[in-house]
Structure 1
């Protein structure tokens, strides 16, 4: 059976009517008009979150608002035409959430879902079918076996070969809970030698970290690091490595907050160990994603009182040992902690027949 494509002409494209479908709504009730705009938005938000009117009234009156006005506003908001429009859009959102929730239920039905596989000798065809299109993380333990980096990279080697060069590092991360979102403000330029000394002598901390944001691998002075890379995963194109590589170096205690990337990548652990925690992209509605690609949740210290939906999320975990290569599939949420002084290498030089360009419509709500 074949289907004829539908031509999007003026005759068959549905347009918004020029006249209203219903009579104009009644004027907004006085109680809603009496509330300050920020409190009016607060009432609408909390009713959309299905907070109880009693708890809302308690919060509002404790802030000094008139109890009668608050009580009337909470009751009248349900009749407000703008709020009713929001309720209709909420139904569409709930449908999408139920769809991805059902798909997640199928994924979790796999007996091996909760375990991140560690494998060797995966063929290209199997890798694409099982991990790329199957959208599941995996650790490849044989990729970096021939890498010169495995026997060479160390803080001393980094200092000796590149100590005279400048890099942009993040310093003062402990002063800002949103250190990753505000990474540009925390950028500090220093010599590689000075940063190596800071990492080696500073002990375990999240305060300073050399991350992929520096993009030092795009600079010809650091190309010798690429010569320390050997065999690549079967879906990678080695000729593109110089355009798609990132270097990570920091002490034990560095953390990358819960977020998702907008593409797929490989991450090879060279020195030290890192713990990765994952949440499926199908469980995005449980992670309070209100700003960009970030979640405010800390999987190391989950706050179920503030984020109750998190209780239903299944968290996967794996520790990367030196020589392990992680494949991060599309959209998977991840939080990373360095258990020891760490040097890592990530790359996205996928072959042309493996799509790795995707777009996301990210929220910009902020601290809602």
Structure 2
């Protein structure tokens, strides 16, 4: 299946002469040819954008013998081999019975957790991990306001006006009093416009240490000494969405108040997820555009609802999309007693 054409954003380029196209359109020709688009379909787009017919036709002929394009074809073959290896392994993995069901278990031993879920790269929900945590009986919006309402926190605000809100999260940072934010969340109802996320770093601040005191026992495959340095606090209304992305470490995420819907896709399916920039997919999992992103139609999505008191384990590199179904307080931690530092060579293509 060929990919749909990508039209570049308009730029103030000189008009095409009778023999040449502007540089950005010549690059567009190369990119779309590498993506398998036909010269005929590309010519239609060029003409629809008022580019000279003879220059357009000449560019489509010239690209087939352009040295840079021919070199790129070789690298495209190498990418294709790697993608096929990943997708063949994924086909084998998902042939297992009940692949699409994320297991919910009360307990697992350290050995089983390490072998079956960490090295075996399988998501897992633990229903009893947080059973003795004081947080489960204490945390609430009112409790946050009473204990920490005077403190300032960093939130994301104005998310709904930015389609790339997570990728542009640094630009959406706002500092507010936590008590005011609690009032805003409680009174405002469901929305994706504001959210206190892991980036707030509040658990590194002494005034929020009591939140860590509310975390009870941890399994023996977690390093308690690293909890303060490797944990995060989340608070927001129902309706908040963390779009499809992958993390660069493994982590556990405990739902304390409210429910969240988690959807997972194996890292072996990365070639189907249009990962052009950073750790993010271009695909909107709630409204996938299969005309623009056709390969996503072949991806297998695992779907669970995380209930209060449950903890999800996120294996390395698994893609996930998270939606708060109601007002939510959550706690995540990555202090696993296994190697948990990894390097990713992420793309930075922002104009596709």
Q: Do both share a fold (TM > 0.5)? A: yes
Match of 2:174 among 164, 185, 188: 188
Residue 83 in structure 1 maps to residue 69 in structure 2? yes
CA distance in structure 1 between the partners assigned to 2:57 and 2:85 by the alignment: 36
Q: How many residues matched?
A: 336
Q: Equivalent residues in 2 for 1:1-368 (5 A)?
A: 34-351=20-337, 354-368=338-352
Give the ranges of 4+ consecutive aligned residues of structure 1 lying more than 2 Å apart after TM superposition. Answer: none
Name the SS for the 2:171 alignment partner: coil
Query: What is the rounded CA distance, in whole Å, between the counterparts of 2:242 and 2:220 in structure 1?
Result: 27
Deviation of 1:232 (Å) = 1.5
Where 1:112 maps in the other structure, the secondary structure is coil
Tell me how far apart the structure 2 counterparts of residues 163 and 97 of structure 1 sit (CA, whole Å): 50
Give distance in 2, aligned partners of 1:150 and 1:38: 56
Alpha-carbon distance in structure 2 between the residues aligned to 1:32 and 1:270: 66
Mean Cα deviation higher: 212-221 or 232-241: 232-241
State whether residues 261 and 325 of structure 2, in contact with CA within 8 Å, keep that contact through their aligned partners in structure 1: yes
8 A contact 1:291–1:362 mirrored in 2: yes
Where structure 2 has 5 or more consecutive residues not aligned to the other structure, the ranges are 1-16
Tell me if the contact between 1:32 and 1:40 (Cα under 8 Å) persists in the aligned partners: no
Following superposition, the deviation at residue 32 of structure 1 comes to: 11
Larger Rg: 1
Distance 2:18 2:146 in 1: 68
CA distance in 1, matches of 2:18, 2:331: 56
Describe the shift of the 1:348–1:32 C-alpha distance in structure 2 as closer, same or farther (beyond 3 A): farther
Question: How big is the alpha-carbon RMSD for the aligned residues of Structure 1 and Structure 2?
Answer: 1.2
Give the deviation of 1:33 after TM superposition: 6.8
Partner Cα distance (2:180, 2:280) in 1: 31
- Unaligned runs of 5+ residues in structure 1 are 1-30
Q: What TM-score results when the alignment is normalised by the length of structure 2?
A: 0.94
CA contact (8 A) 1:266 1:325 kept: yes
- 1:8 match: none
